[in-house]
Structure 1
Amino acid sequence: MKTGLVVGKFCPLHKGHEALIAFAQARCDRLVILSYTKPEFADCPPERRAAWLAALYPEATRLVLDDAALAVFAMKKGAPPCTLPHNDAPAEDHRAFVAWVCQTMLGLTVQRVFTSEDYGDGFADALARDFGHPVEHVAFDPARSGVPVSGTLLRGDRVSHRAFLSEPVRRSLVRRVALIGGESTGKTMLAAALAADLGTCWVPEYGRELWEQRSGELRYEDMLAIAHEQVAREDRARADAEGWLICDTTPLVTAFYSEALFGGIDTALEALAARRYDHLFLCAADFPFVQDGTRRDAAFRQRQNDWYRGRLDRAGVSYTVVSGSVADRRTHVHSQLGLAHPA
């Protein structure tokens, strides 16, 4: 029985990795996929990489490691602590670490190692010395002509090279940008403008849609249903988003209305109100108040914004206040996202 090994950072996991893994799966009876990196890369934490591998390779033996996982392993085994080798550490350190993981953590050795790298032969020789039996290096497309992509390329410009990402990976890498603020603070205008700027989609406020359908007649139990539907629409929209997803409200806003209209917040809604976003922007109440027949007044608007600030500050949630014209707000958001100013 041949056991094969593929090792990678997978930051992010892309179709070049997938081609290598498929090649390996066809040439061994059992495949071990090991992922680690030190330091970590933005948007590719261990739990996310583990989820990608689990979704795409449920039949493989998968292990995604960081120093925290190694510390837990050492504590359970009563063994001396071990840490990941740095990405810039000598090749010998990485080879010894991989051999240790296979033997000590997984309780196995491998007969084949699959790479697209020049170091593959030396890697296999080092594993053979540690394991006490031959290990074959099987090279796959070293020139990367079949799938011309790399993690470095994708980290530099993920949106332009998104075709190299499978759906589970692409969806999970979409960054959610949320806008909150009181009535008549320009949230919807800003959401639509940002989506157009970024070439992506945005998720309108479901609570307002339901309010209009019900002619302003909502019940306490509707509040939790609104928050659930808002989150579900966000999750569905990620399939169509390109790099960013603009959210024209959050469950925190629904929680405010629940308290303001009905004097309380369901515990499940409280939990949803703690939902985190990659970037959260609070629209200042400095727009002229516009009464469209559905809103209260400027004092209520200010009360909303003060409530949001208080809740976010107490929870230690980071947010950015944007003010001024829609153009000013767009520029501020672009700057916070690390993007060029909008045209």
Structure 2
Amino acid sequence: MSGTDRRYRHGLVLGKFYPPHAGHHHLVRSALARCERLTVLVCAASVESIPLADRVAWMREAHPEAEVVGAVDDHPVDLLDPAVWEAHMAVFRAAVPEAVDAVFTSESYGTELARRFGAAEVGVDPERTTYPVSGTAVRKDPVGSWTFLGPGVRAALTRRVVVLGAESTGTTTLSRALAAHYRTRGGIWSETGWVPEYGRTYSEERLAALRAVDPGADWTQVEFGSEEFPVIARRQDADEERAARDGSPVLFCDTDSFATTIWHERYLGAPSPEVAAVAARTARHLYLLTDHEGVPFEDDGLRDGPHLRPWMTGRFRAELERSGRRFLLVTGSPEERLRTAVAAVDGLLAEGWHFADPLPERR
């Protein structure tokens, strides 16, 4: 058996995975192909801005055949200091106490790491020719590295823009127009996603179920219970998360679980702590509140009437302000609203992504 096809009992892949990218996954796949058992050790420093738990979860999702473990390593990074090496090895051995037969690596420190584990060193694409990407490159320019990122990382980095407002104020029109606008930019932007309002689908189903019993029933006869709103909120979040995993660096949502908190007030007369807890789990980066002024009310059979729109607009605005969410009130014609919204989204994207620097490395 040649050195290039030798199999090992227990292999190790070690890295920061800050964040994981296609090169990391290629390394792990290469190791899995040559090991009976593979451990992936994710090491994070406290100064870094992506939680260790997230990185471990992303690697486990991508490589269910491997054993993925995590460790916090706040020791200085000095490849020339034996004492520092020993401090790091203490962290590594605590996380991976079993004997290691091979260390798979694309890094220059792989030789010394393998020696200290008493294992063979197996280099995998050290020149990064298969996947020309690095963690440093991703942190510097996530958009430019987008095609190298897996679904979990994409979902975490996607800028989420929510369009919300009272009934018949153009939320669907604007959110769909925004998604279409960014798709025309081509490249990775052609995958820009749009998330429809699940609450509307749910309402249609409730009305259809009522009409199955009473064909003459209309929207005024549909009654909601408080227990239904968390269901709607969780489904809205799930649809959003699914779209964020597969799309471009920006995602447009026709409402979200935060908006569901206001709809609960509208129908039940009071807030729902359970819905509020659902809404708090996901961060959105920009809200666009559609004004009711100047927008004709259209009754599509699932709406209550124009008299409620000023109250709804006011409640959305008050809660956006109270909770400190970033938002913009959009007014005017559909064309004016789209121009205003695009400028706001472009501004959001121009701010970029900010990652804390890893610990400085001395070689």
Q: Is the shorter-chain TM-score for this pair beyond 0.5, marking a shared fold? A: yes
Which letter does structure 1 place at the counterpart of 2:224?
Y
Which among 207, 210, 216 is matched to residue 219 of structure 2?
A: 216
Separation of aligned partners in 2, 1:109 and 1:84: 24
Once the two structures are TM-superposed, the CA of residue 53 in structure 1 deviates from its matched residue by 1.7
Q: Could you give the per-residue CA deviations for residues 277-304 of structure 1, whole angstroms, max 9, x where no partner exists?
A: 3313141637424222346447x43432
Question: In structure 2, what is the equivalent of residue 34 of structure 1?
Answer: 41
State the identity %. 33
Which letter does structure 1 place at the counterpart of 2:283?
Y
103 and 154 in structure 1: CA distance in 2 versus 1, 3 angstrom threshold: closer
Once the two structures are TM-superposed, the CA of residue 247 in structure 1 deviates from its matched residue by 1.0
Which aligned segments of 4 or more residues in structure 1 are displaced greater than 6 angstroms?
A: none
Q: Secondary structure at the match of 1:220?
A: coil
108 and 97 in structure 1: CA distance in 2 versus 1, 3 angstrom threshold: farther
Is 1:84 matched up with 2:71? no
Separation of aligned partners in 2, 1:56 and 1:225: 29
Is 1:231 matched up with 2:233? no
Q: Could you give the per-residue CA deviations for residues 14-55 of structure 1, whole angstroms, max 9, x where no partner exists?
A: 22212212222344444332223447666x432221111222
Question: In structure 2, what is the equivalent of residue 181 of structure 1?
Answer: 165
Once the two structures are TM-superposed, the CA of residue 113 in structure 1 deviates from its matched residue by 1.9
Question: In structure 2, what is the equivalent of residue 77 of structure 1?
Answer: none
Aligned 8 A contact 1:289 1:297 in 2: no
Once the two structures are TM-superposed, the CA of residue 114 in structure 1 deviates from its matched residue by 1.8
Separation of aligned partners in 1, 2:130 and 2:248: 25
Q: Could you give the per-residue CA deviations for residues 74-129 of structure 1, whole angstroms, max 9, x where no partner exists?
A: xxxxxxxxx6135xx3224763343111333443453432211223223334x25x
Aligned 8 A contact 1:251 1:275 in 2: no
Question: In structure 1, what is the equivalent of residue 340 of structure 2?
Answer: 328
Q: Which has the higher contact order (CA 8 A, sep 6+)?
A: 2
Q: Could you give the per-residue CA deviations for residues 304-325 of structure 1, whole angstroms, max 9, x where no partner exists?
A: 24323444555x4432224343
Aligned 8 A contact 1:102 1:108 in 2: no
Separation of aligned partners in 1, 2:279 and 2:119: 53
Q: Secondary structure at the match of 2:286?
A: strand
185 and 295 in structure 1: CA distance in 2 versus 1, 3 angstrom threshold: same
Which letter does structure 2 place at the counterpart of 1:205?
E
More divergent stretch after superposition (201-210 vs 246-255): 201-210
Aligned 8 A contact 1:185 1:283 in 2: no
TM superposition score normalised by structure 1: 0.75
Q: Secondary structure at the match of 2:111?
A: helix
Q: Secondary structure at the match of 1:10?
A: coil
Question: In structure 2, what is the equivalent of residue 70 of structure 1?
Answer: none
Separation of aligned partners in 2, 1:295 and 1:255: 18
306 and 47 in structure 1: CA distance in 2 versus 1, 3 angstrom threshold: farther
Question: In structure 2, what is the equivalent of residue 14 of structure 1?
Answer: 21
Alignment of 1:1-343 (within 5 A): 2-38=9-45, 44-66=50-72, 84-85=74-75, 89-91=77-79, 92=81, 95-125=85-115, 127=116, 134-159=118-143, 161-171=145-155, 173-183=157-167, 185-199=169-183, 200-211=192-203, 214=207, 215-217=218-220, 218-221=222-225, 222-264=228-270, 268-283=274-289, 285=291, 287-293=293-299, 294=303, 296-297=305-306, 300-312=308-320, 314=322, 316-324=323-331, 325-326=336-337, 327-338=339-350
More divergent stretch after superposition (180-189 vs 239-248): 180-189
Which letter does structure 2 place at the counterpart of 1:216?
W
Q: Could you give the per-residue CA deviations for residues 145-181 of structure 1, whole angstroms, max 9, x where no partner exists?
A: 2233322333444455444334454455444322223
Once the two structures are TM-superposed, the CA of residue 143 in structure 1 deviates from its matched residue by 1.7
196 and 138 in structure 1: CA distance in 2 versus 1, 3 angstrom threshold: same
Aligned 8 A contact 1:180 1:281 in 2: yes
TM superposition score normalised by structure 2: 0.72
Q: Secondary structure at the match of 1:242?
A: coil
Separation of aligned partners in 2, 1:39 and 1:305: 42
Paired residue total = 313
Aligned 8 A contact 2:292 2:310 in 1: no
Once the two structures are TM-superposed, the CA of residue 334 in structure 1 deviates from its matched residue by 1.9
Q: Secondary structure at the match of 2:219?
A: coil
Q: Which runs of 5+ in 1 are unaligned?
A: 67-82, 129-133
Q: Secondary structure at the match of 2:350?
A: coil
Once the two structures are TM-superposed, the CA of residue 256 in structure 1 deviates from its matched residue by 1.9
337 and 40 in structure 1: CA distance in 2 versus 1, 3 angstrom threshold: farther
After superposition, the CA RMSD in angstroms is 3.3
232 and 157 in structure 1: CA distance in 2 versus 1, 3 angstrom threshold: same
118 and 251 in structure 1: CA distance in 2 versus 1, 3 angstrom threshold: closer
Question: In structure 2, what is the equivalent of residue 78 of structure 1?
Answer: none
Question: In structure 2, what is the equivalent of residue 71 of structure 1?
Answer: none
Once the two structures are TM-superposed, the CA of residue 4 in structure 1 deviates from its matched residue by 2.7
Once the two structures are TM-superposed, the CA of residue 201 in structure 1 deviates from its matched residue by 1.8
Once the two structures are TM-superposed, the CA of residue 141 in structure 1 deviates from its matched residue by 1.7
More divergent stretch after superposition (249-258 vs 303-312): 303-312
More divergent stretch after superposition (135-144 vs 148-157): 148-157
